[in-house]
Structure 1
Amino acid sequence: MKIAVIGAGAIGGFVGAKLALAGEDVTFIVRGANLEAIARNGFKLIAHDGAEEVARSVKATDRYDEAGPQDIVILAMKAHQVEAVANDVPRLFGPDTVVVTMQNGIPFWYFHKHGGALEGSPVRSVDPDGRVAAKIPAERVIGCVVYPASELLAPGVVRHIEGDRFPVGELDGSSSERVNRVSACLSGAGFKAPVLDDIRSEIWLKLWGNLTFNPISSLSHATLVDICQFPPSRELATSMMQEAQAVAGKLGIEFRVSLEKRIAGAEKVGKHKTSMLQDVEAGRAPEIDALVGAVVELARLTDTPTPHIDTVHSLVKLLARSMADQRGHVRLRELASVG
């Protein structure tokens, strides 16, 4: 199949390279150093055991018209970066093109075919003026939850750390021919991509940890195990997760694992810096709105009090604004020894 991957970062590069190595016709829509590196050398994938493969058949371009209509378009950037490409994405559409959204957090399409009183409601935190929803119709969307971890080592070079699950699902829960086609395509590349009849519950399960540990870590500069083993921060994480569970419950979501088991899973990861902490240390805009702001928005829509989430959200938004105003980053540095 013809597959366009918009973005060639840690996840987009990993997915695109694996699909190309499996024989799919992959085009990366990229710019700058990534474009030059991929066009010149293909895409190098370093497996978690150190084995290296190069997908030399991939194409790379910064011109959507050059890529042409695709069977599948994979949005592989962070949620706050989608609006910047929304106007151009339709240039990749043919009559039956589907869009696979690989963003963390609450997606712009969340209430499409949701049912109930909030059916069709926009999610302003991730799509403030409705531009994304207007340009990327939810009717084309296949939901996806990203579980693997990988890192972009250099332009056109990704190292896979762990994980291979990309569950997918239609927004109405149906088992359509097209969602099964997407699942088969991802499975053929070596991923576990089951078709779920409730993709929103899976989104919440991943978000449950992200909305909690990402902002706490970015504010405290602590790793997952440190947050979980320090009683005050563990208590804060628990309170935030309880509030999120209340919001999700009002939207018909049931979590298939317990809160304590979810925290234990984060603790087991160990001395891992969350993506938001990595962004803060590198001076990149942290991914706040889809992970935390959208939960605050949904809490207001459902009349659910979320005092702990609200407080942490305000603090991390202020941190992001301070970083942007001063064009700086925040990182702990070891003090020089005295004497």
Structure 2
Amino acid sequence: MNSSSLRVCVAGAGAIGCTLAARIALSGQPVSVFARGKTLAALQRNGIHLHDLEGRHHVTVNASDDAAALGVQDVVFLCTKAPSLTTLLPQIQPLIGPDTRVIPMVNGVPWWYFHGEGGRFDGEPITSVDPDGVIHASLDPRNVIGCVVFMTAQSSGPGVVSTHNAYRIVFGELNNALTPRLEELCSLIARAGIETQGSDRIRDQLWTKIIANLTSNPVSVITGATLEQIYGLPQMRELALATFHEVLAVATAYDARLSMEPTTFMQFGASMGAIRTSMLQDFEKGLPLELAAIGDAVLEMAQKVNVPMPVTRSVVTLARFCAEHPHKDHVRH
């Protein structure tokens, strides 16, 4: 991968997409952003404003809603929310050639989980996240490099993002091979000032993030609680621990290797401070929630291996009810 002539595109310009695009641009690597509507107009007019641990940054990016005009890319990062993938992928087909590396930066269980996995469910779909097979039909798994994002970012407006925690991203091939294209991708992101790792067991890292998501996101919608409260307050921590152990049992059933000590995990979560989860932010804005990828998909996988998840199922059910029947006292920003 010749970085000087590399064509890189970030598809989706929310908080994570803008953060990634800004960091890549700051490294000197040209980057395009596929965006639409008010977000596109803001990026074209004002670029991206990022406030992170290194300070305040302003970058200009090549923003467009015309995938054909942007042309085939070497690397495409899918930075939309999981529910929007089925809409986004058909729109960005002109970006994807036979050798394009496509990196889905989505929360929860990805549709590609069983592709190249090699176990007894190898090649099976995750119907919760791709019920009609649109994602699988739109994207050849051979183009995909798995990704687990350990980043928190909040957006106060189109193209204006802030984060107060360190960046970390883990990449891995779906078949767990350590390939030159994986190494090159890691180099690209490391140059952007993001801690990066290429893994030969990407699903282990994935379960770590799934546990973090599932112990915090749905309950934040129900309660409005921050990470500090979810993992720090005794009663809330008890609920998070129950979910933690249920998800860990599912991960273990799929031969994931996780070295997570629950007390340390809870302490780390509480140390994140008064962070409102991305799902809570979406809920307050009246946006679709990632419950299918973060909750339903894990329950689907649990059912395949006969692992009961009563606490998790109840919390996901309550979060969905809140989303479908918002109380008048819930503040929508």
TM-score by length of 2: 0.93
Percent of pairs with identical residues: 35
Deviation at 1:95?
2.6
Counterpart among 107, 110, 122 of residue 110 in structure 2: 107
2:216 — aligned with what?
213
Distance 1:224 1:193 in 2: 24
Residues 87 and 300 of structure 1: is their aligned pair in 2 closer, same or farther, counting only changes over 3 Å? same
Residues 290 and 48 of structure 1: is their aligned pair in 2 closer, same or farther, counting only changes over 3 Å? same
- Indicate conservation of the 8 Å contact 2:98/2:143, yes or no: no
Distance 1:232 1:248 in 2: 25
Distance 2:126 2:101 in 1: 21
SS of equivalent residue, structure 1 residue 303 = coil
1:15 — aligned with what?
20
* Structure 1 residue runs without a partner (length 5+): 333-339
Distance 2:310 2:88 in 1: 34
**Which amino acid is 1:83 matched to?**
T
Residue 170 (1) aligns with residue 173 (2): yes
Counterpart among 211, 225, 229 of residue 228 in structure 2: 225
- Indicate conservation of the 8 Å contact 1:14/1:150, yes or no: yes
Q: Which runs of 4+ in 1 moved over 6 A?
A: none
- Indicate conservation of the 8 Å contact 1:280/1:330, yes or no: no
1:336 — aligned with what?
none
Residues 234-255 of structure 1 show CA distances to partners (whole Å, capped at 9, x for unaligned) of: 2222111111111111101121
Residues 299-327 of structure 1 show CA distances to partners (whole Å, capped at 9, x for unaligned) of: 1111111111111111111222224xx9x
Distance 2:140 2:191 in 1: 27
Residue 34 (1) aligns with residue 33 (2): no
Distance 1:75 1:281 in 2: 23
Counterpart among 299, 302, 320 of residue 305 in structure 2: 302
* Structure 2 residue runs without a partner (length 5+): 1-5
1:330 — aligned with what?
330
Distance 1:171 1:152 in 2: 31
SS of equivalent residue, structure 1 residue 167 = strand
Residues 161-180 of structure 1 show CA distances to partners (whole Å, capped at 9, x for unaligned) of: 22121111111111111111
Counterpart among 82, 86, 91 of residue 88 in structure 1: 91
**Which amino acid is 1:164 matched to?**
Y
Distance 1:115 1:258 in 2: 28
Deviation at 1:81?
1.1
**Which amino acid is 2:58 matched to?**
V
Aligned alpha-carbon RMSD (Å): 1.8
SS of equivalent residue, structure 2 residue 181 = helix
- Indicate conservation of the 8 Å contact 2:232/2:267, yes or no: no
**Which amino acid is 1:269 matched to?**
M
Residue 286 (1) aligns with residue 255 (2): no
The alignment covers a number of residue pairs equal to 327
**Which amino acid is 1:23 matched to?**
G
TM-score by length of 1: 0.91
Distance 2:142 2:296 in 1: 25
